[in-house]
Amino acid sequence: MTTMLGLDLVGRRVLVVGGGPVAARRVQSLLADAARVVVVAPQLCEALVDMHTWGLVEWHAREVASHDLDGVWLVHTATGDRATDAAVVRWAHERQTFCVDAGASQGSARTPATTQHGDVLVGVVSTGTPDPGRTQSVRDALSAHLREGSVDLRRHRPGPGRVVLVGGGPGDVGLLTIAGRRALAEADVVVTDRLGPVSVLDDLQAGVEIIDVGKSPGNHPVPQHEIGRILVEQAQRGRVVVRLKGGDPFVYGRGGEEVVACREAGVDVSVVPGVSSAFGAPAAAGIPLTHRGTVGAVHVMNGHDGWSPAALLGLRERSCTVVVLMGVSALPALARTALDEGIDPRTPVALVEDGTLPAQRVTRAVLADVVDVAAAAGVRAPAVIVLGAVADAHLLEPETSTERGAVTMST
């Protein structure tokens, strides 16, 4: 019978016998566990030479001897020579020291194929004849399952609270990152709003508390300072708190303010980036924000703040694409000011509603007409506004040539 144990090797002496690539991989794993690694081998492969040069390992350039096992906590043998490995296994047995034999099943210990997600380490070993290919295959399947966030990774014992700001992307749950899903699998409480992949909340484990702090245009029932207070208070209760936000937390998501609130209170806080709607929504609508030969720069702005000199200059000189977030209600004022500032009335404009979601809709017009066209179409928030040559519906139509023949595109 095989019993799996977690070994604390921090600062403890571990012997690796052998200097080839297999030994190098073992040494790398041991260094990651902060072990004091001693290598005994007449020669080293390039990877081990580098580790020795950097002072990461102690190297004895000779054949292994029985006294090399004195005072070590664990032995790994990977010489490739069966007689040498068998001798090391025998010496380890005499000293009652656990030994991993990379070449056969003679050793008293085995190294599992591992995968780590957060602070959870999962290992797979075979109890019969060693079969590394099989254990790695099972490990990979388990790793994929954990990455999907479908396993309950919440702590069952008390621990320090922390906050994770997760960028959920523009709406499609498929654009939520693997790191974001894993954070949700570890969450005791999720503080969410109306934007982003809210459908993922249906997949949370029973017992996870959901706090809705959603805002809509003109309606902010939970002010920003109160959101910060909620995050801090929940973390101070020893809970893992995920702040699920639409888009990216640091792109007009006020994530910086929430990080400051946590740090001022001494609460551990981290950030998982997300796909910003400023980039995700136009891409989903087939609008390249940069396009070779057309424009090579992008300016992102908040519609409530009005035009910046840089944005107006970029449109006037046709040198950049301007993406406006939270600009639907401000569109009349933005369009009027742009025209007054000399922006070409024929500048293409595209409004992408519900970007990446099944209800996604794109409304196009030129700057001079966009307010009337948007009103007639009933454009509503959330929508991303794109101004510049890339918003032209014909930009990506293929060129035709009598030499190359006709080219068609499917949509």
Taking only the tens place, the pLDDT of each residue in 337-395 is 999 999 999 999 999 999 999 999 999 999 999 999 999 999 999 999 999 999 999 99
pLDDT value, residue 290: 96
CATH class of 279-391: alpha beta
Equal fold, 162-274 vs 279-391: no
In which band, very low, low, confident or very high, does the pLDDT at 103 lie, cut at 50, 70 and 90? low
Q: Which of 285, 322, 283 is nearest to 306 (CA)?
A: 322
Alpha-carbon torsion angle 7, 10, 12, 15, nearest 10:
70
What whole-number percentage of the chain has pLDDT above 90?
A: 70
Considering the chain, what is the average pLDDT of its residues? 88
What residues does each domain of the chain span? 13-111, 162-274, 279-391
pLDDT value, residue 23: 93
CATH of domain 162-274: 3.40.1010.10
Kindly report, residue by residue over 281-330, the tens digit of the pLDDT.
999 999 999 999 999 999 999 999 999 999 999 999 999 999 999 999 99
Please say whether the beta carbons of 122 and 139 come within 8 A: yes
Q: Is it the case that residue 404 has pLDDT exceeding 80?
A: no
Task: Give catalytic residues, as residue numbers.
Answer: 193, 215
pLDDT value, residue 411: 32
* Higher pLDDT among residues 102 and 135, named by residue: 102
Q: CATH fold of 13-111, please?
A: Rossmann fold (3.40.50)
pLDDT value, residue 214: 77
d(CA 242, CA 166): 7
* Higher pLDDT among residues 381 and 122, named by residue: 381
Q: What b/e readout covers 326-354, taking b as 16+ CB neighbours within 10 angstroms? A: bbbebbeebbeebeeeebeeebbbbbbbb
